[in-house]
Structure 1
Amino acid sequence: MTHTLSATAELDRTNFYIDGRWATPKGAESYQVNEAATEEPLGTAALGTVEDVDTAVRSARAALDDGPWSTTSAAERAATMRRFGDALAKRIDSTSRLVSRENGMPITMSTAFNGTAPVGLMHMYADIIENYPLEEIRQSLSGATIVSRKPVGVVGAITPWNYPQAIAVFKIAPALAAGCTVVLKPSPETALDAYVFAEAAEEAGLPAGVLNIVPAGRDASWSLVQHELVDKIAFTGSTAVGRLIGAECGRLVRPCTLELGGKSASIVLDDADLTTFVTGLAGASFMNNSQTCTTQSRILAPRSRYEEVVDAVRDFARGLTVGNPLDPAVTCGPMATRAQKERVLGYIETAKGTDARLVTGGGTPRGLDRGWFVEPTVFADVNNRDRLAQEEVFGPVIAVIPYDGDDDAVRIANDSQYGLAGSVWTSDEDRGIAVARRIRTGTIGVNYYDIDLGSPFGGMKDSGIGRELGPEAISHYLEYQSIYASAHQLPGAQ
């Protein structure tokens, strides 16, 4: 669908970044981004066609096969990435504010995730690749083998709107470190901030074609997944779309990394310190207005302390400051889009029709008639088979579920198609770790939940395939080649 141009032309992005320069779109489709807190036009982004995506992929292919990127050493790539990170650092304030306006993320959090984290990740992967064993020699029965790790090739990176800068760098940084080239397909809802990467790439002297940026709708995005010159897809988004991408990559015998949805559980054990638990709710259950795949929106409470936990969650939710995310005092901003607000309100109305008990919230905040705001909402007495407990809401709606004993808590936590995150709250850390080990989930915290950028992140079950972050992420952008050779002919390890 083509949208009307916005009045804020300075934020309009009418070209794409392809082959190291600004390219004119081959079509006329565009997307109007509205400010989440005001609903006012913020800027317009051109949307790519199948032909635009094809041009970007061929540019990335040429940069990989014939351009300077294919001959760079790990040290040279690391130096370029550090310049890239430094260029992003100059834009932290403006980028963070832009993302907050696009998707409603509170500005303090946006500064951390969309400003500071991308810079740190770019430098981190530069450091890692300089010390990464890209080649080694192993003795064999017939002589020796050179085991070489080579870039997987052209990467199609498809990213969501909730943490647009951070999640893009989750993919871009390890891919560049490995020697891959990238076509970034950002979400239209946050397409405006994606071009910060283009500006930083230009300033850093990234060779033409190494990073290409094309926002696109469904058909053009699907052409990126199917393109014959793409070697890997790295996707973050819904499980429904991830299933389609995974199936297509399977048909094409193409590797993919899929970071998908979640419906994580926060287990409050009977010996938990509720002050510690409440302190951790912001990061575990309400981060980014709960528009976070790791949101622990199922809180499991022991019957012996059930009402105490319900009251604590209720009071925390009521204490959140809802408003314009650019205000540093605001702790809960709006939903990213009108459609997302309606989706969240729909789940609330469905829950009202069950045996669950509405404890607080349940609608739109008073006095906030403009903007896509939803009250922080808590339901108690939720059955774990209810839709509210099984489906990802992606908004500030919490289900408190009672349990009887640790085994029952583990059973309920694992009774989900998802397995991305979670937490355990207890005064006995050893006990908490023992419970955490029994949960089928990719990440889980004991007495706090905070993603560690230096360790692998990803999900089990329907929450995805593969891992991002940590040194382990680079392995997903490399392929192995074994060269069998006679021992006396072997060069020294490089």
Structure 2
Amino acid sequence: MVIREQLYVGGRWVGSDSTETLTAINPATEQPLGVVPQASAEDVTRAIMAAREAFDDGPWPGMKPSERSRVLMRMAEVMRRRQAELVDLDVAEVGRARMLAESVFVDVPIEHFEDMAERVLLSFEFDEPMLPYETPLGVGQGVVRREPYGVASIITPYNAPFFLAAFKLAPALAAGCTTVLMPSPHTPLSAFLVAEIAEEAGLPPGVFNVVTGTPAAGELLTSHPAVDIVSFTGSDTVGRKIVKQAADTLKKVVLELGGKSANIVCEDADLTKVIPDVVMNFTVNCGQGCSMLTRTLVHESIHDDLVAGLKKAMDHVRIGDPADPTVTMGPLISAAQRDKVETLIRAGLDEGAQLAYGGGRPTHLPKGFFVEPTVFVGVENSMTIAQREFFGPVTVVIPFRDDDEAVRLANDSDFGLGGGVWSGDPTRAYRIGGRIRAGMVSLNGGTGGLSPHGPFGGYKASGIGREWGKWGLSEFLQHKSLVWPMASG
């Protein structure tokens, strides 16, 4: 049992005003994993004001990029040294399969920190020369300066607490912002490890603060006038609330929200490559991922072959204790999330869809919030199960007649985060991918459509703004024109 009795505010470990606590539950065992403070409104306000003071009066925003780079690299070095701890916590706190925690959800964000510190930050053009211009008053010249936005609220969900905190903190800190991190109440523990890492790396006091609490306390992070920018990852429902909460102070919001992304499988695709990709896209992390391709659109001529291949592949998905290195799929985060997924499965059956595989709970796992990987067929794109985000291990298989219908079905969604296209003709895949209204499209399995050197984000209800690389850094910067008369002669 991990007991955290203090919050991290202003570079110090401080007690909470509140005597209330939050208990993190191991979703594989249903046993308590840790206890953290449930921050009060006063606690959150103190964290915000510590970040405000650090931005207005501290050294961080005025440091040279090379100086901030050195501190971020020290943070990455400490992360590397404590990588095993981060993996163990990710497995226990999220219920993530160990093999996935090791290879992706801990290693990749550390690489992102390193890349942000060494490549992106040191090559970024903070002062861009402005073309000379002529007015009746004379000829002018100048620069466009990119400056840190200010105090940033970082709010992360339960499905990737360390991963998403790192992908938000690296650009925010690189830009020169000061930050307050609030993790999901389901997965609060990794945030304290990040605070220890920041402290050891020598991040100046107040530049990084951690508060843990409920959404009620978190509303201050989105509405307080001392906050300049909010970066949130979570559901579109909460994202809409955050936009309203931020509106009174007209603060900037960066939102990475939900998805119901389509994976288009053309008749000339290689099913031996397609099927593992389809399985991965709804079973990884028990389907709890916003960018997963959970609508499988397949040409009608190979529909039955694909479904038969999926059913066979499902028998090789090993469900169980995520700490077991041979397990490939762990549990959902909570009983409430399991109930939501099961309710949507029943809705699919009520609307006339059929189960090709799964749909229940694994009988060999009496403890833990487990659901079987589930494949629906006989699905219309208008059905609830084709439009609502499950955030669980469920895919729907929908046939199409030609490329135009595939694109129409893919775009017939409130969301637009990701997409995929499989075809034996790369030119055809590229052409179809260009017609999908989504922020990231994978062609023939290309890194899942995700590259740390490209922007992460979506269209429509999938969010506002972009993360990762120079695009993520740019979100935490404001633009200022500095102009002066051009010298004559």
TM-score after normalising by structure 2: 0.96
2:129 corresponds to 1:133: no
Identity of aligned residues (%): 39
What per-residue deviation string (whole Å, max 9, x for no partner) do you get for residues 84-125 of structure 1? 011111111111111111111111111233321221111111
Q: Which structure 1 segments of 5+ residues have no match?
A: 1-7, 490-494
Check the 8 A contact 2:275/2:306 in 1, yes or no: no
Is 2:117 the counterpart of 1:115?
no
Secondary structure (helix, strand or coil) at the match of 2:188 reads: helix
The answer to whether the aligner puts 1:14 opposite 2:13 as a matched pair is: no
Native 8 Å contact 2:418 2:449 kept in 1: no
Determine helix, strand or coil for the equivalent of 1:58. Answer: helix
Q: Alpha-carbon deviations, 1:304-337, whole Å to 9, x = none?
A: 1111111122222232000011111111110011
TM alignment of 1:54-133, pairs within 5 A? 54-127=45-118, 128-133=120-125
**Residue 221 (structure 1) aligned with residue 218 (structure 2):** yes
For 2:151 and 2:280, the matched residues in 1 are separated by 35
Matches within 5 A, 1:51-450: 51-127=42-118, 128-138=120-130, 139-141=132-134, 142-448=139-445, 449-450=448-449
User: Per-residue deviation at 1:422?
Assistant: 1.3
After superposition, the C-alpha distances for 1:234-257 in whole angstroms (9 at most, x for unaligned) are: 000000010111233334221111
The equivalent residue for 1:30 is 21
Question: What is the CA distance between 1:488 and its match in structure 2?
Answer: 4.0
Match of 2:454 in 1: 455
Counterpart of 1:190 in 2: which secondary structure?
A: coil
Cα drift, residue 282 of structure 1: 4.4
8 Å CA contact 1:93, 1:115 repeated in 2? no
Number of positions where the alignment pairs a residue of Structure 1 with one of Structure 2: 480
CA offset at residue 23 of structure 1?
1.0
Q: Distance in 1 between matches of 2:280 and 2:393?
A: 12
Residues in 2 aligned to 1:178 and 1:488: alpha-carbon distance in whole angstroms: 32
Q: Which deviates more, 201-210 or 286-295?
A: 286-295
Indicate the residue corresponding to 1:477 in structure 2.
476
State the AA in 1 paired with 2:115: M
1:283-323 per-residue CA deviation (whole Å, 9 max, x = no partner) reads 43322111000121111111111111111222222320000
List runs of 5+ in structure 2 lacking aligned partners. Answer: none
Shift of 1:56: 0.5
CA contact (8 A) 1:280 1:447 kept: no
Instruction: Please tell me whether the aligned partners of residues 175 and 182 of structure 1 are also in contact (alpha carbons under 8 angstroms).
Output: yes
Q: Distance in 2 between matches of 1:46 and 1:315?
A: 46
Cα distance, 1:137–1:199 mapped onto 2, change above 3 Å: same
Aligned 8 A contact 1:267 1:423 in 2: yes
1:230 shift after superposition: 0.4
Give the Å deviation of 1:264. 0.6
Taking the aligned partners of 1:422 and 1:36, their CA distance within structure 2 comes to: 29
**What is the letter of the counterpart of residue 123 of structure 2?**
N
Between stretches 397-406 and 204-213, larger displacement belongs to 397-406
Once residues 10 and 70 of structure 2 are traced to their aligned partners in structure 1, the CA distance between those partners, rounded to angstroms, is 20
Cα distance in 2, alignment partners of residues 263 and 277 from structure 1: 18
| Residue aligning to 1:467 | 466
Letter in structure 2 aligned against 1:437: G
Moved more, 311-320 or 44-53: 311-320
Alignment check: 8 A CA contact 2:278 2:296 kept: no
TM-score, structure 1 normalization: 0.95
Contact 1:25/1:52 (CA < 8 Å) preserved in 2? Answer: yes
Find the aligned partners of 2:279 and 2:115 in 1 and give their Cα distance.
Answer: 27
CA RMSD of aligned residues (A): 1.3
- Tell which deviates more after alignment, 60-69 or 150-159: 60-69
CA contact (8 A) 2:113 2:167 kept: no
Counterpart contact for 1:91–1:115, Cα < 8 Å: no
Task: Indicate the SS of the match to 1:252.
Answer: coil
Question: Matched residues in 1 for 2:477 and 2:165: separation?
Answer: 18
* 3-state DSSP of counterpart to 1:140: strand
* Aligned counterparts of 2:82 and 2:312: Cα–Cα separation in 1: 37
Could you list the per-position Cα deviations for residues 61-103 of structure 1 after superposition, in whole angstroms to 9, with x for gaps in the alignment? 1111111213211100000000001111111111111111111
